Amino acid sequence: MDTVKPTTNLKKAQETMEASKPDTATRILDVSERLFVEHGFEGTSLRMITQQAEVNLAAVNYHFGSKDALFESVFMRRLAPLVAACLAELDRLDAAEGKTTVEELVMAFIRPCLALSKDPSRGGALFVRLLSRALVENHRLLRETISQQYSVFVHRFGKAFKEALPGLSDEELAWRMHLAFGIMFNAFAGNDVLKIFVRSQVVTARDPDMIVKHLLPFVVSGLVAPAQG
Amino acid sequence: MDTVKPTTNLKKAQETMEASKPDTATRILDVSERLFVEHGFEGTSLRMITQQAEVNLAAVNYHFGSKDALFESVFMRRLAPLVAACLAELDRLDAAEGKTTVEELVMAFIRPCLALSKDPSRGGALFVRLLSRALVENHRLLRETISQQYSVFVHRFGKAFKEALPGLSDEELAWRMHLAFGIMFNAFAGNDVLKIFVRSQVVTARDPDMIVKHLLPFVVSGLVAPAQG
Amino acid sequence: MDTVKPTTNLKKAQETMEASKPDTATRILDVSERLFVEHGFEGTSLRMITQQAEVNLAAVNYHFGSKDALFESVFMRRLAPLVAACLAELDRLDAAEGKTTVEELVMAFIRPCLALSKDPSRGGALFVRLLSRALVENHRLLRETISQQYSVFVHRFGKAFKEALPGLSDEELAWRMHLAFGIMFNAFAGNDVLKIFVRSQVVTARDPDMIVKHLLPFVVSGLVAPAQG
Amino acid sequence: MDTVKPTTNLKKAQETMEASKPDTATRILDVSERLFVEHGFEGTSLRMITQQAEVNLAAVNYHFGSKDALFESVFMRRLAPLVAACLAELDRLDAAEGKTTVEELVMAFIRPCLALSKDPSRGGALFVRLLSRALVENHRLLRETISQQYSVFVHRFGKAFKEALPGLSDEELAWRMHLAFGIMFNAFAGNDVLKIFVRSQVVTARDPDMIVKHLLPFVVSGLVAPAQG
DNA sequence: GATGAATGAGTATTCATTCAT
DNA sequence: CATGAATGAATACTCATTCAT
C-alpha cells in the first residue's frame, strides 16, 4: 500500500501535484480517524466521511467492505506500529545489561506514545484519543475482531514489571498495570474528568513533553507504592 | 409526588404489587441510564429505551422534551447527590481538628463513589461508567448545559489539596488532580485499557472494596510523589 | 358571552384585573385566528395554539371538540357578522328611493370589510386573510360544514347587480361577480402576486382607506365594462 | 440527461414501453405538483408523494435534498418558462411598431398563462393554482429563495404599463398592476370566493378560452379607469 | 370546569448498504 | 476502478386525541 507504484493516470498525477492529495483509501482513513475521535463510531456517518474526504459515498464500502471494517482499518493502521514500537523498546531493555527499572518500563510505553503524539500528520495524537474512546465505548470490534492478537504486549510488559517489582503479588501487579496503563492512556488522550465540573480546562498541555513531565513521577510512584496491608 | 396517596385503582395497585413498577418517568430514567452506558448516547435509540421501559415511544418527549434533555436528566439525577456527598465529606474534614491528610482527601471522593457503586439498584455503579463515557464522548451537553455549576467541587478539592501538598506548584497540583481524578473515575468505571490487547479481563473486581484496596495506595503515592526536577 | 356575570372565583377575578385576560375559549379563538392566518390550518398545531393562549393542551378539545370544530368556530365568529352587515347594507339600499348604482353595491360589500379591517383588536383584518387562505386551501370544512347557509348573500348581491347592470347576460354577470369579489377579497387580504417576483412590496397600504381609494374605481370599471363581442 | 442514449437494458426499455414511465425525479415532480395544489405544502406528506409516484420514500431526499428543496424545484420548473414566455411577448410588443395598447399588455401575460392552462399534461393548469396557493400561504421559500430574480418581470411590465397609461401616477400604477395581476392569477387558478357562500360553483369554466373572454374586458376596463379624484 | 399523563399514528430526515453500469 | 441511483430500515420528534381524575 505504501510502495511506490508507477501511475499512468495523468489526471490523477496532476491532482497529486496540485494538492498532493493522497489516494482515495488513505483519504478515507485519515478523515475517518478524525471523525471517529470527534463524534464516535455511531456518531460518524459514512456521509460525513465521504463528503469530507471528497470521495463517492459508495467508496467506503467499495474499499473497505463495511463501516465496521473501515473502523478496524483505521484502528489497526496505528495500533500495529504502536505495539511494535513498544515491543522494540522492551527488546532493547532486555538486551541491555543490568536490571530494568520501573521508570524505564514506563518509558518503554510512554516513548512510543510520545512519538505518536508528535506525529506531524496529527493523526497519531488523534489515535490515542480514538483508542480511549473505543475502550470506553466497549466496541464489539475491540472485543471480537481487533487485537486480541496483541496479548504478547500484555505478557511482555507483565513479565518485565514482575521482575522490576518483585515484592508484589500477581493480583496486585495486575491492578497496578491496569491503573498505570489507564492513567497513561488518559493523559495522552487528554481526557479530563474535571472538565465535567468546570468550564476551564484544568491542565493546559498541548505540548506532549509536558504530559510526560507530570505523568511520569505520578505513575512511577503509584507503581512502586507499598501494597496496602 | 412522593406522598402516599390512597389508590382505589385496583389494576394499578396490582401492578405495583406484582412488579413494584416505578412511574413512567423513573422507568425511563432507569432504562436510559443502563442503555446510555452500554451503547452510548448516539448508540441508544429512543425505541430501545421505550421498549425496555415498556412505555410509549412518545413518552420520552412528553416527559423530558428531547433525547438531549433526557440525557441531562439521567446525568443530573446522580451527579447532584454525588457532588453533594463529596462536599459533605470535605466539610467534615474541615470541621475536624488537625491537618487533613492526602489519603483523607482521596477518600473524601472515593467514599461517595463507593456508596454509589454499592447502590442496591445498580444504577449508581452504572453512573460512574456513564460519567466516563460522557467524558470521552465529549458531549456538547457536558460542555454547555450540564454541570459547570459544580465548579465549587473542583475549587474545594483544589484548596484542600493545596494545603495537604504544600510543596507543589499550582501547575503541578492541577496536573496531579487531573491524573488522580482520572484514574479514580477509570477504576470505578472499570475501564480496562489492557482489554484491547487481551481477551481476558486483567483485573477481576466486582467487589467495590477491592477497587479501593488497590486504588488507594496507587493514587496517594502518585499524589505525594516528589515533582520531577 | 359578553354579558357581565357575577364571579365568585376570586383568583380568576384577580387575573382579569391584572391582565384583563379574556376567558379561555376566547383566548383560544383569538390566538387560533392569528396562527391559522400565519401558518394555515395544517401548519398550525394545537400545541402552538395552546402555548400562545397559555391554556392547557386539552383545552381545545374540551371547549371545541376538535381542531376542525375550532376552525369552524374561528371562522364563523367573524363571518356571521360580516354577512349580516352586508345584508343590512343591501336592505338600506333597497329601502332607499331611486335605482341603486354599481358603486353603491360595491360599497355595500367594501364598507363592512373596511369596518372589519379597522377593527381595533386587529382580529378583523386577519379574518379577511383567513378567508382568502381558506378559499385557496379549499377546506373541506368550507365546502361541507361552514357557510352554505349564506347563499342568501350571493342571491341578494346577484339580484341587485342584475338590476344595476341590466345589459349583461346571466353568465356574464356571474363572471363579473366572481372577478369582482375575488379582487376585493384579495385587496383586503393584501395578497400581492407580484411579491413572487420582487422582494419589495409593490403597494404599501397599511391604511384600509387607501385600499378603497384604489380598489373602487378598478372594480366598478371592470363591472360596468361592455361585454366582449 | 436529455440526450438520447442507446439502451440495451431490455427490462427498462419494456417499462418505458408499457407505461412510458418518466424517470424517478420527474415522477416525483409531477406528483408533488398535483398534491401541493390539492393539499398545500404542509398538508402534503412525503409519504403521499412517494406512494403515488411509486418511488422509495428516501428518493425525495436523495434527489432533492429536502421537502423544501423539492417544493422549490416543483415551483421553478414552471415559473422559469412562464416568465420567459411573458418577457418574449413583451419583446415582441417592443419590436412592433406603434404604441402598445393596454389590452396587448394584458394579453402578453394572459397568453402564456393560457398556454400553461392548455398544457396537455395538465401540470401547467395546476401550476397557476400552486402559485396562488404559495402566495396565500406566504411561503418562506417564496420570500427568500425562489424568484426574487424575476424582478425583471415586474420592471418590464411596469415600464410598459407606464407608457400605455401615461395619465396615472406611479403609486396609482402600482396599485393597478397589483390588482390586475391578482385578478388574473385568481381567474386562472379558479379561486372562487363565492364558493364560501354557496355550494354551486358560480362560474363554470373548464375551458380556458372562456376565462379569457370574461376576464379580458374586466381587467382592461379596470386598468384604464380614471383615477379617483 | 379543567388538566396532567399518555398514546398510536404520523412527520421529515438519515442510515449503511446494494447494484447496475 | 469507481459511481450515481436507489432502497428498507431506522432515526428523533410531533401530531391530534383520549381519559382518569
What's the pLDDT tens digit per position in D177-190?
999 999 999 899 88
Those nucleotides of strand E lying less than 7 Å from any protein Cβ are 2-21
pLDDT in tens, A29-63: 999 999 999 898 988 999 999 999 999 999 999 99
Q: Which grid cell sits at D143?
A: 420570500
pLDDT in tens, C199-226: 766 566 678 888 899 999 999 999 999 9
Q: Examine chains A and B and say if they touch (3+ CB pairs below 8 A).
A: yes
With residue A145 as reference, give the H or E element that holds it.
Answer: none
pLDDT in tens, B126-174: 888 888 888 888 787 777 777 677 889 999 999 999 999 999 999 999 9
> What is the torsional sign of CA D39, D41, D42, D48?
positive
Is the model's pLDDT at B178 over the cut of 80?
yes
Q: What pLDDT does residue C216 have?
A: 96
Task: Please give the model's pTM, rounded to 2 decimal places.
Answer: 0.85
pLDDT band at D13 (very low <50, low <70, confident <90, very high): very low
Q: What pLDDT does residue C204 have?
A: 65
Q: What pLDDT does residue B156 have?
A: 94
Asked if D103 and D161 count as a contact pair (C-beta separation under 8 A), the reply is: no
Q: What is the mean pLDDT of residues D5-29?
A: 59
State CA A139 to chain mean position distance.
Answer: 15
Q: Which grid cell sits at C67?
A: 381542531
Q: Which grid cell sits at A193?
A: 474528568
> What is the pLDDT of chain D when averaged over all its residues?
85
C-alpha angle A46/A48/A53, rounded to 5°? 95
Those nucleotides of strand F lying less than 7 Å from any protein Cβ are 2-21
Whether residues B196 and A172 touch (CB distance < 8 A) is answered with no
Sequence-ordered alpha helix ranges (H) in B65-207:
67-95, 102-117, 123-137, 140-143, 151-164, 170-189
Contacts of D196 in chain C (CB under 8 A): 79, 131, 134-135, 142, 146-147, 150
Is the model's pLDDT at C193 over the cut of 90?
no
Which chain B residue is nearest to residue A202, measuring alpha carbons? B174
> What is the pLDDT of chain B when averaged over all its residues?
85
Taking phi over 0 as left and psi of -120 to 50 as alpha, with beta for the rest, D4 belongs to: beta
Mutate to test the interface with A, among B113, B162, B165, B186 (most CBs of A within 10 A): B186
pLDDT in tens, D91-135: 999 999 889 999 999 999 999 999 988 887 777 788 888 888 888
Is the model's pLDDT at D71 over the cut of 70?
yes
Q: Which grid cell sits at A5?
A: 507504484
Could you say which of B198, B214, B228 has the minimum Cβ distance to residue A154? B198
Contacts of A124 (CB under 8 A, 6+ apart): A78, A115, A116, A117, A118
State CA C3 to chain mean position distance.
Answer: 25
Lowest mean pLDDT among A1-5, A185-189, C57-61, C81-85: A1-5
DSSP state at residue B65? S
Chain B contact for A81, CB < 8 A?
A: no
Contacts of B218 in chain A (CB under 8 A): 175-176, 179-180, 222-223, 225
3-state secondary structure of C168: coil
φ/ψ of residue C51, rounded to 5: -65, -50
φ/ψ of residue D101, rounded to 5: -85, 160
Contacts of D87 (CB under 8 A, 6+ apart): D152, D153, D156
Q: What is the mean pLDDT of residues D18-42?
A: 87
Contacts of C219 (CB under 8 A, 6+ apart): C106, C180, C183, C184, D222
C-alpha angle D59/D61/D67, rounded to 5°? 120
Picking from D183, D227, D219, the residue whose alpha carbon sits closest to that of residue D103 is D219
Q: What is the mean pLDDT of residues B180-193?
A: 90
CA B224/CA B103 separation, integer angstroms: 10
Q: Dihedral (C-alpha) D7, D12, D14, D15: value to the nearest 10 degrees?
A: -140
State the CB neighbour count (10 A cutoff) for residue D34: 19
Is the model's pLDDT at D229 over the cut of 90?
no
Q: What pLDDT does residue A21 have?
A: 67
Picking from A211, A165, A142, the residue whose alpha carbon sits closest to that of residue B191 is A142
Q: What is the mean pLDDT of residues D132-158?
A: 82
DSSP state at residue D227? P
State the nearest residue by CA to the C1' of F2.
A59
Q: Which grid cell sits at A90?
A: 522492551
State CA A122 to chain mean position distance.
Answer: 12
Is the model's pLDDT at A1 over the cut of 60?
no
Amino acid at D7: T
Q: What is the mean pLDDT of residues B21-43?
A: 91
Picking from C128, C229, C113, C109, the residue whose alpha carbon sits closest to that of residue C177 is C109
Q: What is the mean pLDDT of residues C13-40?
A: 78
CA C187/CA C131 separation, integer angstroms: 12
Q: What pLDDT does residue B227 have?
A: 82
Q: What pLDDT does residue B13 have?
A: 40
- Which one is predicted more confidently, A1 or C137? C137
Q: Angle B208-224/A170-189 helices, nearest 10 degrees?
A: 60
Which chain B residue is nearest to residue A211, measuring alpha carbons? B175
- Which one is predicted more confidently, C149 or C131? C131
Is the model's pLDDT at C122 over the cut of 70?
yes
Q: What is the mean pLDDT of residues C126-131?
A: 88
Whether residues A186 and B182 touch (CB distance < 8 A) is answered with yes
φ/ψ of residue B9, rounded to 5: -80, 105
